[in-house]
């Protein structure tokens, strides 16, 4: 039990560091919890969301002090994101956890492929 608590603590630190840098801590946290520690998908998503609240507050304060936040522009992102979060919450509540796990895996895989392609295109353009 102590070993699992330690691993959960490490996952939280890793997710917090990445989330604080704006790199999407949940992208790492959810696979670590589900694949690495056997946490059910819906519980992993809940843990990610619960940890995101304090992380985002701290990150927002730090980035605001460093003048890296444009609140004026953020409104155009926040409003649609809230709508998507509400819709996603209702949708995720109604599907099986295994389906959510598979969908999240495909999402991460697609994101990785898109990132590789974008990196390759940037590399070709710079030459």
Residue 23 phi/psi, 5-degree rounding, is -100, 10
> Given this model, what pLDDT does residue 83 score?
93
d(CA 42, CA 89): 11
* Structure confidence at residue 118 (pLDDT): 93
> What pLDDT, on a 0 to 100 scale, did the predictor assign at position 66?
92
Which residues span the domain enclosing 90? Answer: 2-126
What domain count does the chain have? 1
Q: What is the mean pLDDT of each run of 10 residues along the chain (127 residues)?
A: 80 74 73 85 84 82 89 88 89 83 87 91 90
Give CA–CA dist 61/83, Å, rounded. 24
**Residue 42: exposure state from Cβ atoms within 10 A (0-12, 13-18, ≥19):** middle
**What's the CA dihedral at 50, 60, 70, 86 to 10 degrees?**
10
Please tell me the pTM assigned to this model: 0.61
């Amino acid at each position: 039990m102590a070993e699992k608590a330690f691993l959960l603590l490490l996952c939280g630190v890793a997710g917090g560091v990445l989330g604080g840098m704006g790199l999407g801590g949940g992208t790492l946290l959810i696979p670590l919890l589900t694949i690495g520690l056997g946490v059910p998908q819906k519980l992993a998503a809940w843990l990610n969301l619960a940890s995101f609240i304090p992380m985002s507050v701290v990150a927002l304060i730090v980035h605001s002090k460093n003048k890296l936040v444009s609140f004026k522009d953020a409104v155009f992102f926040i409003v649609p994101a809230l709508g998507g979060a509400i819709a996603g919450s209702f949708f995720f509540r109604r599907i099986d956890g295994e389906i959510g796990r598979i969908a999240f895996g495909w999402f991460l895989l697609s994101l990785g492929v898109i990132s590789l392609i974008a990196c390759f295109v940037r590399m070709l353009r710079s030459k």
